[in-house]
Amino acid sequence: MTSAEAPTAARGGPPRRRRAQRVPAALLVPALAGLLFLVLPLAGLVVRAPWASLPQRLTEPGALTALRLSVQTATVATLVCLLLGVPLAWLLARARFPGRRLVRALVTVPLVLPPVVGGVALLLVFGRRGLLGGWLDATFGFTLPFTTTGVVVAEAFVAMPFLVIAVEGALRGADTRYEEAAATLGAGRWTTFTHVTLPLVAPGVAAGAVLCWARALGEFGATITFAGNYPGVTQTMPLAVYQTIEGGDLDGAVVLSLVLLTVSVAILAGLRDKWITSA
């Protein structure tokens, strides 16, 4: 339809107003249904919110504590992911070593693993009687499960694949000839990485970090399994929402959900303008 129109216009007929592209109904209807499906629950949250008692509920100490903990742990988890995930992505994209395909497959496992299973796995390794946890406890008197650090570990475990995949993709798309140019100017591999490669893939790293942070902020299954649900220590917003609704306080759950929604959308939108669209 529309494609049949283009050559006619190109043939140099009289200039006419470009007609709005007609979208086939077979695509339009499911597309609108999909949009509705995604937006309706969010609208439900807004409609159903107890607006009158909102200010009072927001200032309740429990809500703010959970929010602060969520933002802090998600941010620290993202930093951990950047620190470990960017070099891992570089290794996958640039280095040649046997078993690289296997390593890449392993990196993506946490993506498809149900988070609760991830939490159980973390317990088996870092738990007090776990493979590493026992040693950590005996040697340093240091335990991870059911601590705030445990929350960070659980979030980083679940979120890191998002970062690694985004950064690896950016590195593969980057022109390696810039790295060669840097080498001919006297830059070693580390300097080339910090001064040329990283700036070139910065948009990809930023996009990966945003995805990673969003995933960490919403983390529930691995966190509650590995770190438990202690208010002020390991109770992040998703856990608080869950506990509130379990306790029968639907309005409270709605308020907490609304806060989480607002914070994540605001931060993502802010970062998106600053980083992603500049790519």
Contact set with other proteins (CB under 8 A):
175, 177-178, 180-188, 191, 195-196, 199-200, 202
Rounded distance between C-alpha atoms, residue 62 and residue 56, angstroms: 12
The secondary structure of 147-159 as a DSSP string is SHHHHHHHHHHHH
Q: Considering the complex, state which of residue 21 and residue 184 has its C-beta at the smaller distance from other proteins.
A: 184
> Which C-beta is closer to other proteins: that of 192 or that of 225?
192
Rounded CA-CA distance 206/271 in Å is: 8
**Minimum distance of other proteins from residue 278's CB (angstroms):** 12
CB 200 within 8 A of CB 178: yes
* Nearer to other proteins among residue 178 and residue 242 (C-beta): 178
- Angstrom distance (rounded) from CA 27 to CA 199: 40
Among residues 115, 72, 57, the alpha carbon closest in space to that of 257 is found at: 57
What's the min distance (Å) between Cβ of 152 and other proteins? 32
CB 207, min distance to other proteins, A: 17
- Check residue 130 and report its DSSP letter: S
Q: Give least dist CB 111 to other proteins, A.
A: 31
Residue 57 tokens read as: 């509920």
Pick 33 or 279: Cβ nearer other proteins: 279
Helix (H, G, I), strand (E, B) or coil at 255: helix
Q: How far is the CB of 183 from other proteins (least distance, A)?
A: 4
Minimum CB separation from other proteins for residue 261, in Å? 35
Identity of the residue numbered 131? L
Q: How far apart, in Å, are the Cα atoms of 85 and each of 99, 162, 208, 216, 239?
A: 18, 9, 10, 14, 26
**Six-digit token pair at 31?**
């597309």
Cβ proximity to other proteins, 68 vs 195, nearer residue: 195
Residue closer to other proteins (CB basis): 22 or 189 = 189
